Homo-oligomer: A and B are copies of this chain.
């Protein structure tokens, strides 16, 4: 039915949802590592779009190396200030000239970074609180060729690996959504909550502990009482979110490192700890599905900032996640699905060397019952691999 090397097999162990101890983490939008991921990916999208606009095809680039050097700040009730700016260095490779057409890669990168920061960090004054610098070199010569013909499937130029999972466990859903919604609808209404929100979930049996570290924005905090209220509000909101995803016991802790007696609270001027003491870089935080999941195999690849046309690690990490989600949505009886793709150098990327599906089925379902269905679904997704590239360029897929 398919000439792709798709292999469906039962998982050897229990689904993560059924393991005794589970740990999940998410570094939110304003975490210094995530700031770097976000900028790297924004720069990548802007470059890819520019290449398409100007020369009709995406040229060689990689911008997955943004480095953030923390600043120094003096937050204060009612509004403090940044003393020494954050320094943000955009690093990578880009093609700056192609058949006579010049591509202003560095100014594009700066503009994309600035727009990203201004859109997502309302309390950060770009150019004053943060210096954005850039060093985009040319790549090595042999990589500067164009990527294949329009519409064709690129060849894998490296042995690389991607892994994806579905569905998310309850703990994973909680961790992901608590952060996203705090950084979405909640902070829209409550500007006291900054963008630097880190969520850790730990499940032992049926007890889930959710630990939230959320930066408060000093401008909206008049005194300690208001701070305590803000913390209590976050806790209450996060508990509400968590309960939408589980019937297990949930306890939410917020800003556990605070010491009210010592006056040690998580107050910031800009909404991120990057303002004082926390450096960051790309690929050090969330994996492509937005989470850090020590209970599951993970890829070490930094997905953000990589070229979505030819970086096989980026494509396979996003694609394996998409496949897993799609198969689980379409095929009944799956309790846990892991998709693993391994590239074959020199072969088209829609023909991976190995495409493993490892399944834990629901009670009463055997792998053989669903094997054909799963294979067909994987095959269909692989056939559509270039769609991933397009969606990444359009910013439809999150990479961190």
Contacts and interface: CB of A to CB of B under 8 A. Distances in A.
A70 B126 CA distance: 22
Given A140-B278, A277-B140, A132 B131 contact: yes
Interface in A325-355: 340, 342, 345, 354
Contacts of A110: 85, 127-128, 131
A138 interface: yes
B159 A202 contact: yes
Contacts of A12: 12-14
Nearest to A112: B128
Given A67-B91, A107-B84, A159-B202, A297 B295 contact: yes
Interface string A29-57: 00000000000000000000000000000
A8 interface: no
A127 B140 contact: no
B128 A345 contact: no
Nearest to A345: B256
B135 A107 contact: no
Copies of this chain, how many? 4
A131 B125 CA distance: 15
A104 interface: yes
Nearest to A204: B354
A31 B290 CA distance: 27
A21 B273 CA distance: 42
Contacts of A143: 277
A132 B88 CA distance: 12
A200 B159 CA distance: 8
Interface stretch (A242-250, A279-287, A381-389): A279-287
Given A12-B12, A128-B110, A277-B139, A284 B298 contact: no
Interface string A68-93: 01111010000001111101010111
A335 to B, nearest CB: 14
A23 B161 contact: yes
B106 A83 contact: yes
A85 B69 contact: no
A239 interface: no
Contact of A273 (B107, B140, B283, B300): B140
B285 A300 contact: yes
B128 A211 contact: no
A172 interface: no
A361 B139 CA distance: 49
Given A264-B142, A285-B300, A294-B163, A83 B70 contact: no
Contact of A138 (B82, B138, B277, B296): B277
Interface of A: 11-14, 21, 23, 62, 65, 67, 69-72, 74, 81-85, 87, 89, 91-93, 96, 102, 104-107, 110-111, 114, 125-129, 131-135, 137-140, 142-143, 157, 159, 161, 163, 200, 202, 211, 256-257, 262, 264, 273, 276-285, 287, 292, 294-300, 302, 340, 342, 345, 354, 356
